[in-house]
Structure 1
Amino acid sequence: MSATTPYYKIRDFINGEWIENNTLETAPLYNPSTGAVLGEVPLGNEESSRAATAAAAQAYPAWRDTPLPKRMDYIFAMHSAMVERKESLAQAIAIDQAKHIAEARGEVQRVIEIIQMACTIPALIQGETVPSIANNISGRIIKAPMGVFCGVAPFNFPALVFGWFIPFAIGVGNTFVYKPSTESPLFMQGIMELLTSIGLPQGVVNIVHGDREVVEAWYDDENVAGVCLVGSTPTAKAIAQGCGRNGKKTMLLGGAKNFLAVMDDAPMDLLIENVLMSGYGSAGQRCLAVSNIACVPEIHDEFVTRLLAASENVTVGDAMDPDVFMGPVISKAAKERIEKYIQIGLDEGATLLLDGRNPTVSAGNQDGYYVGPTIFTDVTPCMQIAKEEIFGPVLSIMKVGCIDGALRMIKNHPMGNGACIFTQNAYNIEKFINEADVGMVGVNVGICAPHPYMPFGGIKDSLVGNNKVQGKEGINFFTQNKVATVRVVDPKEGQVAAPASTNSDVRSCVAS
């Protein structure tokens, strides 16, 4: 480590203070572009987890009672501060998560757009009133906050997941405890400095680092109302079980294996451009990356030839280098896992058209965690590389006779996050939208990520439960419906009520 290279000592942030806890074990923080150690991350335990939730619980009553316009002032200030610090926040993502700097800037910009949507909370949190359900009696539904929510973020989108959880949770009146990934914690260190700078009251947002022990402490924590996750399906199911035993609300987005269907009238230039970005962007480490490509025979050979030529020209290197297209994967373990899947594909009999193992990178980056673009052809749906989430820049191309064959593949897969189709045929477009058994559908786009105004999330094993992020659904998750039955009495009528036996209006209202 050179004298000019910063060494990052990641810290928890609890009750408005950065916590120096030298008794906790730490994990090394790596720069995936170079393999160099950047710093250390504390591995929290049940004690640090409960300290964070206790701080959030203590802050909750005052924050809940803060007038909505005042809470929105903080959301607006958060938006302005992110615009001002956009570059430094993007740099943080590119350093420890090693997302290419151009994509890191795009991620931060998307979060800014999500916070813009969160600024509409006053319109979306409005309740309902049903007048005259009986004489002088009305019914009212109030969308009320619930208390302390906790969130778990994956390594691959440290900014985006923050945007999905925290602005909506605190905007409606809850407080929050957030556990970033130990592999990409730098963005949230910057965010907590930002939230401190805008004067967010202490305890409203807290950060605690660590692994399973931190999260499992929430399951029976009386201070915790609900838990959110973006991560793997096994982790989502484990959290669902732990929270379910204790009656806690959950919003759990799991794994994915996304399909792209190529019809014979696909706009080829647009198709190739989108496959490159979807398959190799973020080194394939995103929940909406294309993985399986189902192509009809009429266009298969042309598509494969052009995709191979374009993929061979994809440059791989340091995430901070503006002249490369794709950065590294997150860790040495991730690189080894992806390379293992490449070997599995070969052993299963698929044709390895382009091998991404040991790609050429620039001097000084030989120790980074790089996997280059990888293309398999002659893949069948029963192969392991077609069934399991690889989470790397590996494409599996399969021949299908028609759109029905592609739809069957999608339906038969246990995950159902996203699927896209490239075609100019209106019938195929509508058929695909209606029948693709996934939560998010794209037409002539490689990444079917909904705009922040709309909900984001899959179905089947890609979503544990029913709750999705973004938009009005996000607001609904972080609130509960409180129902009031209100009877008004005219003071001129006196204080003596009619006997219950003759008050049919009241009896009908409380009948069960």
Structure 2
Amino acid sequence: MATRISHWVNGTSTPGTSGRTSPVYNPASGQQTGEVDLASAAELDAAVASAVAAQRDWRTSSLSQRAAVLFAFRELLHERSDDLARIITSEHGKVVADAAGEIARGLENVEYATGVPNLLKGGFSEQAATGVDVYSIRQPLGVVAGITPFNFPAMVPLWMCANAIACGNAFILKPSEKDPSASLFLARLWKEAGLPEGVFSVVQGDKEAVDAILAHPDIQAVSFVGSTPIAKYIYETGTAAGKRVQALGGAKNHALVLPDADVDMAADAVVSAAYGSAGERCMALSVAVAVGAIGDPLVDAIAARLPKLTIGDGTDPDSDMGPLITGEHRDKVRGYIDQGEQEGATLVVDGREGDLPTEGFFLGTTLIDHVTPRMSVYRDEIFGPVLSVVRVETYEEGLELINSNAYANGVAIFTRDGGAARRFQFDVEVGMVGINVPIPVPVSYYSFGGWKSSLFGDTHMYGPEGIQFYTRGKVVTSRWPDPATSSVDLGFPRTR
């Protein structure tokens, strides 16, 4: 029997009342395991009302009190990461090691937020004018919301909620309806850590819940991670309603492999980055740009590694790659492979073939060579285990290819030449750059985000920019009567 997956409002599991639900599957078996409630606008209203009341008190809590809750939450998350990883694998399909990895990266952001007493320090200028002092402070926005994707059901919410809560806001999470259970696990940990009821809420839902969030007058800011068309919609709709919005969109991440690169190191890195978590990562490498004579050795080295990957149930410790999230998405990715073949690319390794599990939403690793920028496998974000190889003659040609792409989330260069690497980081028009690092996700004390169609808004996610996003600055100018000249006897001497 399918498990009922509900909302979390005012510190407790709250069954939905809209009468609408959506199925939740185990991607490895293809079987339905859950039924998630889908919120109405009225249910979102109730969650916001609870959050508004809770935030008034949470805002007055001391920084040390907030830090204590965050430290407790961090310890609970660390202790129970294995349980959370199994939940993620059961609904997303990624192997348990990948699930554990995303929790670890989320934990980094919680650890960063524990430093909130230092992160919220302002500035002070004594005697800006005679007898006048000026100082700056940062204050919370109020109630804020996060709309998060299926591919990282724990990490991306932790990118948002840790900083938001540390800054004194109440946070409402609208997770993906495809793998919603991780959100409730986090909610229970927040409660156990001592977070007051209503400060962290979960509203399960689909577009109706999203639109209600974007329109609600008591939600001051919205953070989003997902595809570019939806990011654009979130940004335009939210800002039109007067909200602060950060919306991270899609990606088409390139790896520029120069002729002097260590082929084995580059191939290992590209395989890991392209096929880990079945390619369902916004930082997955989608395109290897092979410069000059490196092309054939690189393709051969990647192709030689793919048969060694074991594709299977993510709970099996021998599996290197699990299934895709749904049958519909698997079929969409398969359709891109069909198109690539029809458009003239060379299928070096065909993921539509091979020894795959008969149940579940599995697709094998695919390597496509001689791809050109006009092909759909190059233009579109596939979000699956498909790697395209584009061949160019020079560094300049490869750089131009990357800089001409509409997406600018992450990029990597593989070379032994420090001068070439430094030139690349200077020249490339992409938000996150890896030098011999295939997935350049910043550590928690920097900020995550791309450029161009990979980001709508001015603020990147987590780190210093996350603190800035979830607070607003206030400058205070103060003047006090000089005690020496006051008409009230304060016990100070009247002469200097």
TM-score (norm 2): 0.96
Q: 1:359 offset after TM fit, Å?
A: 4.0
Counterparts of 1:313-462 in structure 2 under 5 Å? 313-361=308-356, 365-462=357-454
Question: Please, which of 244, 252, 270 is the counterpart of residue 247 of structure 2?
Answer: 252
Corresponding letter in the other structure for 1:207: V
My pick for the range that moved more, 45-54 or 164-173, is: 45-54
What is the aligned partner in structure 1 of residue 492 from structure 2? Answer: none
My pick for the range that moved more, 29-38 or 196-205, is: 196-205
Residues 352 and 377 in structure 1, CA contact (< 8 A), matched pair in contact too: yes
What is the aligned partner in structure 1 of residue 264 from structure 2? Answer: 269
Determine if the alignment matches structure 1 residue 49 to structure 2 residue 44: yes
For 2:215, what is the secondary structure of its paired residue? coil
What is the aligned partner in structure 2 of residue 69 from structure 1? Answer: 64
Determine if the alignment matches structure 1 residue 82 to structure 2 residue 74: no
Residues 263 and 297 in structure 2, CA contact (< 8 A), matched pair in contact too: no
- For residues 479 and 467 of structure 1, the distance between their equivalents in structure 2, rounded to whole angstroms, comes to 12
Determine if the alignment matches structure 1 residue 468 to structure 2 residue 460: yes
Corresponding letter in the other structure for 1:329: L
- For residues 143 and 487 of structure 2, the distance between their equivalents in structure 1, rounded to whole angstroms, comes to 42
Q: 1:82 offset after TM fit, Å?
A: 0.6
| CA distance 1:393–1:368, shift in 2 (3 Å) | same
Q: 1:146 offset after TM fit, Å?
A: 1.0
Q: Report the number of matched residues.
A: 488
For 1:428, what is the secondary structure of its paired residue? helix
What is the aligned partner in structure 2 of residue 503 from structure 1? Answer: none
Residues 264 and 301 in structure 2, CA contact (< 8 A), matched pair in contact too: no
Counterparts of 1:467-506 in structure 2 under 5 Å? 467-494=459-486
Q: 1:8 offset after TM fit, Å?
A: 2.5
Map Cα deviations across residues 141-160 of structure 1 (whole Å, 9 max, x no partner): 10111100000010000111
Query: Where do 5+ consecutive residues of structure 2 fail to align?
Result: 489-496
- For residues 46 and 452 of structure 2, the distance between their equivalents in structure 1, rounded to whole angstroms, comes to 35
Map Cα deviations across residues 455-510 of structure 1 (whole Å, 9 max, x no partner): 110000000011111211111110000111111112442369xxxxxxxxxxxxxx
| Identical counterparts, % of pairs | 38
Determine if the alignment matches structure 1 residue 291 to structure 2 residue 291: no
Determine if the alignment matches structure 1 residue 216 to structure 2 residue 216: no
Question: Please, which of 77, 88, 93 is the counterpart of residue 88 of structure 2?
Answer: 93
- For residues 107 and 472 of structure 1, the distance between their equivalents in structure 2, rounded to whole angstroms, comes to 20
Q: 1:295 offset after TM fit, Å?
A: 0.3
- For residues 29 and 124 of structure 2, the distance between their equivalents in structure 1, rounded to whole angstroms, comes to 59
Q: 1:358 offset after TM fit, Å?
A: 4.6
What is the aligned partner in structure 1 of residue 273 from structure 2? Answer: 278
| CA distance 1:359–1:40, shift in 2 (3 Å) | farther
- For residues 451 and 372 of structure 1, the distance between their equivalents in structure 2, rounded to whole angstroms, comes to 31
| CA distance 1:24–1:358, shift in 2 (3 Å) | farther
Determine if the alignment matches structure 1 residue 180 to structure 2 residue 175: yes
Residues 16 and 38 in structure 2, CA contact (< 8 A), matched pair in contact too: no
- For residues 401 and 124 of structure 1, the distance between their equivalents in structure 2, rounded to whole angstroms, comes to 47
- For residues 349 and 166 of structure 1, the distance between their equivalents in structure 2, rounded to whole angstroms, comes to 46
Residues 341 and 390 in structure 1, CA contact (< 8 A), matched pair in contact too: yes
- For residues 114 and 61 of structure 2, the distance between their equivalents in structure 1, rounded to whole angstroms, comes to 16
What is the aligned partner in structure 1 of residue 100 from structure 2? Answer: 105
- For residues 101 and 57 of structure 2, the distance between their equivalents in structure 1, rounded to whole angstroms, comes to 35
| CA distance 1:228–1:324, shift in 2 (3 Å) | same
Corresponding letter in the other structure for 1:257: K
Determine if the alignment matches structure 1 residue 35 to structure 2 residue 27: no
Residues 316 and 359 in structure 1, CA contact (< 8 A), matched pair in contact too: no
Map Cα deviations across residues 96-152 of structure 1 (whole Å, 9 max, x no partner): 011111111111111122211111221111011122121111111101111000000
What is the aligned partner in structure 2 of residue 25 from structure 1? Answer: 20
Corresponding letter in the other structure for 1:353: V
- For residues 471 and 314 of structure 2, the distance between their equivalents in structure 1, rounded to whole angstroms, comes to 39
My pick for the range that moved more, 437-446 or 117-126, is: 117-126
For 1:219, what is the secondary structure of its paired residue? helix
Q: 1:22 offset after TM fit, Å?
A: 4.8
Q: 1:167 offset after TM fit, Å?
A: 0.8
- For residues 455 and 487 of structure 2, the distance between their equivalents in structure 1, rounded to whole angstroms, comes to 55
My pick for the range that moved more, 210-219 or 32-41, is: 210-219
| CA distance 1:495–1:212, shift in 2 (3 Å) | farther
For 1:170, what is the secondary structure of its paired residue? helix
Determine if the alignment matches structure 1 residue 233 to structure 2 residue 228: yes
For 1:203, what is the secondary structure of its paired residue? coil
Corresponding letter in the other structure for 1:371: L
For 2:83, what is the secondary structure of its paired residue? helix
- For residues 39 and 397 of structure 1, the distance between their equivalents in structure 2, rounded to whole angstroms, comes to 39
Residues 93 and 322 in structure 2, CA contact (< 8 A), matched pair in contact too: yes
Map Cα deviations across residues 197-251 of structure 1 (whole Å, 9 max, x no partner): 2221110000001111111112332211100001111111111111111211011
- RMSD, matched Cα: 1.3
Corresponding letter in the other structure for 1:25: R
Map Cα deviations across residues 175-213 of structure 1 (whole Å, 9 max, x no partner): 010011101112112111212222211100000011111
Residues 148 and 177 in structure 1, CA contact (< 8 A), matched pair in contact too: yes
TM-score (norm 1): 0.93
What is the aligned partner in structure 2 of residue 310 from structure 1? Answer: 305
Query: Where do 5+ consecutive residues of structure 1 fail to align?
Result: 2-6, 497-512
What is the aligned partner in structure 1 of residue 124 from structure 2? Answer: 129
